[in-house]
Amino acid sequence: MKSISIIIPAYNEEKNLADAVKTINAAVKSVFKDYELLILDDGSSDGTGVIADNLAKKNAKIRVIHFSRNRGFG
């Protein structure tokens, strides 16, 4: 079985994150049964982290890692 991990770096993306994850999730699940979406909250100072956590609560395929300060991932 094919599987894939998609890494989604996010820094202050509260306005875009939910739509981006929805689009990515739809595309990936049409091709892979086994997949994960890994959101890296890169020290966001807006609501990105909360939104990411809420998305993960609704979808077991989503995991979130929070960094306390911006590390420049992206």
**Hey, where are the domains in the chain?**
3-67
Q: Given pLDDT bands bounded at 50, 70 and 90, which one contains residue 20?
A: very high
**pLDDT attached to residue 6:** 97
User: What average pLDDT does the segment 43-61 reach?
Assistant: 97
**pLDDT mean across residues, the chain:** 94
Is residue 68 scored above 70 in pLDDT? yes
pLDDT average, residue stretch 18-26: 97
Q: What distance in Å separates the CA atoms of residue 50 and residue 33, rounded to the nearest whole number?
A: 27
Please classify residue 47 by burial: count the beta carbons closer than 10 Å to its beta carbon, then call 0-12 exposed, 13-18 middle and 19+ buried.
middle
**Global pTM?**
0.91
